[in-house]
Amino acid sequence: MTKKTKFKIDGWLNLNKPVGIGSTPALGAIKRAWHPEKAGHGGTLDPLADGVLPIALGEATKTVAYAMDADKEYEFTITWGENRATQDAEGAVTATNDARPTKAAIESALPRFIGRISQIPPQYSAIKIDGQRAYDLARAGEVADIKPRDVEIYELTLLEAALDHARFHMTCGKGTYVRAIARDLAEALGVCGYISRLTRTRVGPFTLSASISLDLFGQSGVQPDPKAVLQPVQTVLDDIPALAVDEAETARLRRGMGIDFVSRANASRLPDGVHLGPFLAVSYGGIAVAMVRLEGGFVVPERVFNL
């Protein structure tokens, strides 16, 4: 069998993943359409969830960690009356009750879930326990000993309150499980509840309103032109300090060499905050050159982009 040619395609695709397909098959559809040399995604979405799934292609795969760490926004619906093993519609019913929370009760309970809170991830999650995924242990009938972890909830608001369900909007930091929020909120209200709809509306700079439908990447027909829909590699790096480098400095960094910034003239070019961690070196043409760090008066490359 002849191997298909791989193409050098670099950048981020802001994909709108539909319900009913996992993140890996969604990524697979992009790979079949464009045949990139490298591809990955910036944050898993369950098959029952839809919305923003950032796809990194080529050199953008070197910045996936920044997408994973970015703030995220969700809209979700909790259906009252049942607990599910997975905390979503996929799981078996584990408990039921007839109690239904009032709008006032829900709004009164929300403040305790805002700020830095302790959260235990769901049993059906990708957390590793002694080298095994928690969801594999759960499917085998075992209860994993999952430790609580601190997460940051910046906003949690009630959008709609009906008799059997309520709809919410949430802005949160990395590592937050929406299913755990639903589980713990239902428990705080003294009712049963599970996530019946979940849409991710933002991951860092990627928003649902600007996303590209997966339907455009079908098996037949004309595929979207990558140049028309991809965002630059440095899209997920917009919030970190950036240093403009000239042609000679660009060449040095791309060869893995450092740049002398001991002199006062050069030191004055450094952006604020570079001492806190890696920052971005950008050519005067606006192209990402490398992730760099300041080390003893020298700017040295950590990860070079081949763009």
Catalytic residues: 46
DSSP state of 237: G
Which amino acid is it at 194?
Answer: Y
End-to-end CA distance of the chain: 31
Distances (CA, A) of 273 to 86, 162, 233, 240, 245: 42, 47, 21, 8, 17
| Phi, psi (degrees; rounded to nearest 5) at 21 | -135, 140
Write the single-letter amino acid at 204. Answer: G
CB atoms under 10 Å from CB of 268, counted, come to 8
Structure tokens of 247?
Answer: 């042609």
Q: Is 178 helix (H, G, I), strand (E, B) or coil?
A: helix
Residue 89 makes CB contacts below 8 A (sequence gap 6+) with 48, 79, 194, 195, 196
Q: Do residues 290 and 281 make contact, with C-beta atoms less than 8 angstroms apart?
A: yes
Residue 28, φ and ψ in degrees, nearest 5: -60, -35
- φ/ψ of residue 260, rounded to 5: -75, 115
d(CA 23, CA 231): 19
Residue 23 half-sphere exposure toward CB, CA atoms < 13 A: 17
